[in-house]
Structure 1
Amino acid sequence: MSHIIIYTDGGSRGNPGPSGAGAVVKDLKGKNAASISAFLGTRTNNWAEYEALILALRATVDSFGTPVPHGVVVRMDSELIVRQMKGEYKVKHPVLKEQHTKVRVLIAESFPQIKFMHIPREENSEADALANEAMDRGV
Protein backbone atom coordinates (compact mmCIF):
# COMPACT_ATOMS: atom_id res chain seq x y z
CA MET A 1 0.00 0.00 0.00
CA SER A 2 1.52 3.33 -0.98
CA HIS A 3 -1.06 5.59 0.65
CA ILE A 4 -2.61 6.20 4.02
CA ILE A 5 -6.25 5.15 3.68
CA ILE A 6 -9.00 6.87 5.67
CA TYR A 7 -12.49 5.43 5.93
CA THR A 8 -15.13 7.73 7.41
CA ASP A 9 -18.84 7.56 8.09
CA GLY A 10 -21.36 9.76 9.81
CA GLY A 11 -24.96 9.03 10.58
CA SER A 12 -28.05 10.48 12.18
CA ARG A 13 -31.13 8.74 13.50
CA GLY A 14 -33.97 11.07 12.64
CA ASN A 15 -32.04 13.57 10.51
CA PRO A 16 -31.68 15.67 12.52
CA GLY A 17 -31.41 13.36 15.45
CA PRO A 18 -28.83 11.57 17.58
CA SER A 19 -25.73 11.40 15.42
CA GLY A 20 -22.34 9.74 15.42
CA ALA A 21 -19.05 9.73 13.58
CA GLY A 22 -16.84 6.77 12.83
CA ALA A 23 -13.47 6.61 11.13
CA VAL A 24 -10.53 4.30 10.61
CA VAL A 25 -7.06 5.44 9.52
CA LYS A 26 -4.90 2.73 7.92
CA ASP A 27 -1.13 3.10 7.69
CA LEU A 28 1.01 2.19 4.68
CA LYS A 29 0.93 -1.48 5.71
CA GLY A 30 -2.87 -1.51 6.02
CA LYS A 31 -2.82 -1.63 9.81
CA ASN A 32 -5.05 0.57 11.95
CA ALA A 33 -3.23 3.76 12.95
CA ALA A 34 -6.36 5.28 14.52
CA SER A 35 -10.01 4.49 15.13
CA ILE A 36 -12.68 7.04 16.02
CA SER A 37 -16.16 6.62 17.43
CA ALA A 38 -17.74 9.90 18.58
CA PHE A 39 -21.27 10.81 19.62
CA LEU A 40 -22.12 14.20 18.11
CA GLY A 41 -25.43 15.14 19.71
CA THR A 42 -28.43 16.13 17.61
CA ARG A 43 -27.21 16.76 14.07
CA THR A 44 -28.02 15.96 10.44
CA ASN A 45 -26.44 13.05 8.61
CA ASN A 46 -24.47 15.36 6.29
CA TRP A 47 -23.08 17.36 9.22
CA ALA A 48 -22.07 14.07 10.85
CA GLU A 49 -20.36 12.94 7.63
CA TYR A 50 -18.27 16.13 7.61
CA GLU A 51 -17.49 15.83 11.32
CA ALA A 52 -16.30 12.25 10.83
CA LEU A 53 -13.97 13.51 8.09
CA ILE A 54 -12.66 16.34 10.31
CA LEU A 55 -11.99 13.95 13.20
CA ALA A 56 -10.25 11.50 10.86
CA LEU A 57 -8.02 14.17 9.34
CA ARG A 58 -7.02 15.36 12.83
CA ALA A 59 -6.28 11.78 13.90
CA THR A 60 -4.14 11.32 10.79
CA VAL A 61 -2.09 14.41 11.69
CA ASP A 62 -1.75 13.10 15.26
CA SER A 63 -0.51 9.75 13.95
CA PHE A 64 1.78 10.90 11.13
CA GLY A 65 2.67 14.54 11.83
CA THR A 66 2.20 17.63 9.71
CA PRO A 67 2.51 17.88 6.85
CA VAL A 68 1.41 14.28 6.44
CA PRO A 69 4.43 12.72 4.68
CA HIS A 70 2.46 10.32 2.48
CA GLY A 71 -0.38 10.48 0.02
CA VAL A 72 -3.82 10.06 1.56
CA VAL A 73 -6.94 8.51 0.07
CA VAL A 74 -10.23 9.24 1.84
CA ARG A 75 -12.92 6.64 1.17
CA MET A 76 -16.50 7.56 2.06
CA ASP A 77 -19.94 6.23 1.22
CA SER A 78 -21.39 9.76 1.14
CA GLU A 79 -21.44 10.68 -2.53
CA LEU A 80 -22.53 14.22 -1.63
CA ILE A 81 -19.52 14.93 0.58
CA VAL A 82 -17.08 13.33 -1.87
CA ARG A 83 -18.45 15.42 -4.74
CA GLN A 84 -18.38 18.58 -2.63
CA MET A 85 -14.76 17.91 -1.66
CA LYS A 86 -13.85 17.35 -5.31
CA GLY A 87 -15.55 20.63 -6.25
CA GLU A 88 -18.17 18.87 -8.39
CA TYR A 89 -21.07 20.06 -6.19
CA LYS A 90 -21.46 23.40 -4.46
CA VAL A 91 -21.93 23.52 -0.71
CA LYS A 92 -25.13 25.49 -0.26
CA HIS A 93 -26.24 24.98 3.35
CA PRO A 94 -24.54 27.52 5.69
CA VAL A 95 -23.83 24.97 8.45
CA LEU A 96 -22.28 22.57 5.94
CA LYS A 97 -20.23 25.44 4.48
CA GLU A 98 -18.65 25.86 7.92
CA GLN A 99 -17.80 22.15 8.05
CA HIS A 100 -16.49 22.20 4.47
CA THR A 101 -14.28 25.17 5.30
CA LYS A 102 -12.84 23.36 8.34
CA VAL A 103 -11.92 20.43 6.10
CA ARG A 104 -10.35 22.71 3.49
CA VAL A 105 -8.23 24.44 6.17
CA LEU A 106 -7.01 21.09 7.53
CA ILE A 107 -6.13 19.95 4.02
CA ALA A 108 -4.27 23.19 3.23
CA GLU A 109 -2.30 22.99 6.49
CA SER A 110 -1.36 19.31 6.53
CA PHE A 111 -2.28 17.27 3.45
CA PRO A 112 -0.19 18.01 0.34
CA GLN A 113 -1.49 14.86 -1.42
CA ILE A 114 -5.10 13.87 -0.78
CA LYS A 115 -7.80 12.24 -2.90
CA PHE A 116 -11.46 11.54 -2.20
CA MET A 117 -13.17 8.39 -3.37
CA HIS A 118 -16.82 7.35 -3.15
CA ILE A 119 -17.23 3.72 -2.13
CA PRO A 120 -20.27 1.48 -1.67
CA ARG A 121 -21.66 1.27 1.87
CA GLU A 122 -20.62 -2.38 2.17
CA GLU A 123 -16.96 -1.38 1.71
CA ASN A 124 -17.26 1.07 4.61
CA SER A 125 -18.51 -1.34 7.27
CA GLU A 126 -15.81 -0.66 9.87
CA ALA A 127 -16.38 3.12 9.94
CA ASP A 128 -20.14 2.56 9.79
CA ALA A 129 -20.00 0.26 12.82
CA LEU A 130 -18.02 2.86 14.77
CA ALA A 131 -20.55 5.59 13.91
CA ASN A 132 -23.42 3.33 14.99
CA GLU A 133 -21.64 2.42 18.24
CA ALA A 134 -21.33 6.15 18.98
CA MET A 135 -25.04 6.71 18.34
CA ASP A 136 -25.90 3.71 20.54
CA ARG A 137 -23.80 5.14 23.40
CA GLY A 138 -25.34 8.59 23.05
CA VAL A 139 -29.01 7.60 23.00
Structure 2
Amino acid sequence: MTQLLIHTDGASRGNPGQAAYSFLVRKAGSIIKEDAGKLGIMTNNQAEYTALVHALEFALNTHPDADVIIHSDSELMVKQVQGEYKVKSEELKPLCFEARELISKMKGSVRLVHVRREQNKDADQLCNDALDDLR
Protein backbone atom coordinates (compact mmCIF):
# COMPACT_ATOMS: atom_id res chain seq x y z
CA MET A 1 0.00 0.00 0.00
CA THR A 2 1.30 3.43 -0.96
CA GLN A 3 1.86 5.84 1.91
CA LEU A 4 1.89 9.61 1.59
CA LEU A 5 3.13 12.05 4.21
CA ILE A 6 1.65 15.50 3.63
CA HIS A 7 2.60 18.73 5.40
CA THR A 8 0.13 21.61 5.13
CA ASP A 9 0.25 25.24 6.21
CA GLY A 10 -1.84 28.35 5.87
CA ALA A 11 -1.09 31.88 7.00
CA SER A 12 -2.63 35.32 7.03
CA ARG A 13 -0.82 38.59 7.59
CA GLY A 14 -3.32 40.72 9.45
CA ASN A 15 -5.78 37.98 10.37
CA PRO A 16 -7.85 38.66 8.43
CA GLY A 17 -5.38 39.85 5.84
CA GLN A 18 -3.46 38.72 2.80
CA ALA A 19 -3.35 34.94 3.02
CA ALA A 20 -1.61 31.98 1.42
CA TYR A 21 -1.60 28.20 1.63
CA SER A 22 0.99 25.52 1.02
CA PHE A 23 1.40 21.78 1.08
CA LEU A 24 4.10 19.31 0.24
CA VAL A 25 3.76 15.59 -0.31
CA ARG A 26 6.36 12.94 0.38
CA LYS A 27 6.25 9.39 -0.93
CA ALA A 28 8.96 6.96 0.21
CA GLY A 29 10.84 9.94 1.68
CA SER A 30 11.01 11.94 -1.55
CA ILE A 31 9.01 15.08 -2.24
CA ILE A 32 6.63 14.35 -5.12
CA LYS A 33 4.56 17.55 -4.98
CA GLU A 34 4.90 21.07 -3.64
CA ASP A 35 2.18 23.65 -4.03
CA ALA A 36 1.57 27.11 -2.64
CA GLY A 37 -0.69 29.95 -3.59
CA LYS A 38 -2.20 33.28 -2.73
CA LEU A 39 -5.72 33.34 -1.34
CA GLY A 40 -6.65 37.00 -1.02
CA ILE A 41 -8.07 38.32 2.24
CA MET A 42 -9.00 35.71 4.84
CA THR A 43 -8.16 34.49 8.34
CA ASN A 44 -5.29 32.18 9.19
CA ASN A 45 -7.78 29.41 10.05
CA GLN A 46 -9.44 29.72 6.64
CA ALA A 47 -5.99 29.53 5.04
CA GLU A 48 -5.10 26.42 7.08
CA TYR A 49 -8.30 24.70 5.94
CA THR A 50 -7.72 25.74 2.34
CA ALA A 51 -4.26 24.16 2.45
CA LEU A 52 -5.78 20.94 3.77
CA VAL A 53 -8.46 20.89 1.07
CA HIS A 54 -5.88 21.43 -1.71
CA ALA A 55 -3.69 18.66 -0.29
CA LEU A 56 -6.61 16.24 -0.01
CA GLU A 57 -7.70 17.02 -3.58
CA PHE A 58 -4.19 16.22 -4.78
CA ALA A 59 -4.11 12.95 -2.83
CA LEU A 60 -7.56 11.91 -4.03
CA ASN A 61 -6.79 12.72 -7.68
CA THR A 62 -3.37 11.06 -7.78
CA HIS A 63 -3.25 8.38 -5.05
CA PRO A 64 -6.86 7.55 -3.99
CA ASP A 65 -5.82 4.18 -2.53
CA ALA A 66 -2.94 5.55 -0.45
CA ASP A 67 -2.71 5.64 3.31
CA VAL A 68 -2.24 9.33 4.08
CA ILE A 69 -0.77 11.04 7.12
CA ILE A 70 -1.25 14.80 7.21
CA HIS A 71 0.85 16.98 9.48
CA SER A 72 -0.40 20.46 10.35
CA ASP A 73 0.59 22.97 12.99
CA SER A 74 -3.06 24.07 13.27
CA GLU A 75 -4.39 22.27 16.32
CA LEU A 76 -7.80 23.89 15.82
CA MET A 77 -8.17 22.55 12.28
CA VAL A 78 -6.92 19.06 13.12
CA LYS A 79 -9.23 18.72 16.13
CA GLN A 80 -12.23 20.18 14.27
CA VAL A 81 -11.84 17.83 11.31
CA GLN A 82 -11.49 14.90 13.72
CA GLY A 83 -14.63 16.00 15.56
CA GLU A 84 -12.87 16.69 18.86
CA TYR A 85 -13.64 20.42 18.67
CA LYS A 86 -16.91 21.92 17.50
CA VAL A 87 -16.73 24.18 14.43
CA LYS A 88 -18.24 27.42 15.71
CA SER A 89 -17.09 29.80 12.96
CA GLU A 90 -19.56 30.08 10.09
CA GLU A 91 -16.63 30.75 7.73
CA LEU A 92 -14.96 27.45 8.69
CA LYS A 93 -18.01 25.17 8.59
CA PRO A 94 -18.08 24.69 4.79
CA LEU A 95 -14.30 24.19 4.69
CA CYS A 96 -14.45 21.56 7.42
CA PHE A 97 -17.33 19.83 5.62
CA GLU A 98 -15.35 19.83 2.36
CA ALA A 99 -12.27 18.37 4.07
CA ARG A 100 -14.34 15.62 5.67
CA GLU A 101 -16.01 14.84 2.33
CA LEU A 102 -12.64 14.49 0.61
CA ILE A 103 -11.36 12.26 3.41
CA SER A 104 -14.44 10.04 3.09
CA LYS A 105 -13.71 9.54 -0.63
CA MET A 106 -10.19 8.25 -0.02
CA LYS A 107 -9.96 4.46 -0.21
CA GLY A 108 -6.95 4.29 2.12
CA SER A 109 -6.74 5.61 5.65
CA VAL A 110 -6.31 9.32 6.38
CA ARG A 111 -4.84 10.47 9.67
CA LEU A 112 -4.41 14.10 10.70
CA VAL A 113 -1.65 14.85 13.18
CA HIS A 114 -1.04 18.12 14.99
CA VAL A 115 2.68 18.92 14.99
CA ARG A 116 4.77 21.78 16.31
CA ARG A 117 5.66 24.53 13.87
CA GLU A 118 9.30 23.37 13.86
CA GLN A 119 8.16 19.98 12.55
CA ASN A 120 6.29 21.70 9.72
CA LYS A 121 9.06 24.06 8.62
CA ASP A 122 9.12 23.11 4.93
CA ALA A 123 5.41 23.84 4.45
CA ASP A 124 5.77 26.97 6.60
CA GLN A 125 8.59 28.23 4.36
CA LEU A 126 6.55 27.58 1.19
CA CYS A 127 3.62 29.48 2.67
CA ASN A 128 5.78 32.42 3.76
CA ASP A 129 7.39 32.55 0.31
CA ALA A 130 3.91 32.79 -1.24
CA LEU A 131 3.01 35.58 1.20
CA ASP A 132 6.25 37.43 0.44
CA ASP A 133 5.31 37.36 -3.25
CA LEU A 134 2.21 39.40 -2.34
CA ARG A 135 4.30 42.50 -1.63
TM-score higher than 0.5: yes
The Cα of 1:108 is off from its aligned counterpart by: 1.4
| 2:56 is the alignment partner of 1:60 | no
Retained in 1: the 8 A contact 2:8–2:52? yes
What runs of 5+ residues in structure 2 fail to find an aligned partner?
none
The Cα of 1:112 is off from its aligned counterpart by: 3.6
Which range is displaced more, 41-50 or 29-38? 29-38
Corresponding residue pairs, total: 135
What pairs up with 1:1-139 in 2 under 5 angstroms? 3-27=3-27, 29-64=28-63, 68-139=64-135
Structure 2 Cα separation of the partners of residues 18 and 111 of structure 1: 35
SS at structure 2 position matched to 1:55: helix
Q: Please report the TM-score for the alignment, with normalisation by the length of structure 1.
A: 0.91
Give me the CA root mean square deviation. Answer: 1.5
SS at structure 2 position matched to 1:95: coil
Identity value in percent: 39
1:90-136, CA deviations, whole angstroms, 9 ceiling, x for partnerless residues?
00111100100111111112254111111110010110011111111
Structure 2 Cα separation of the partners of residues 24 and 122 of structure 1: 15
Q: Please report the TM-score for the alignment, with normalisation by the length of structure 2.
A: 0.94
Structure 2 Cα separation of the partners of residues 41 and 104 of structure 1: 24
Which range is displaced more, 2-11 or 49-58? 2-11
The Cα of 1:45 is off from its aligned counterpart by: 0.2
The Cα of 1:85 is off from its aligned counterpart by: 1.4
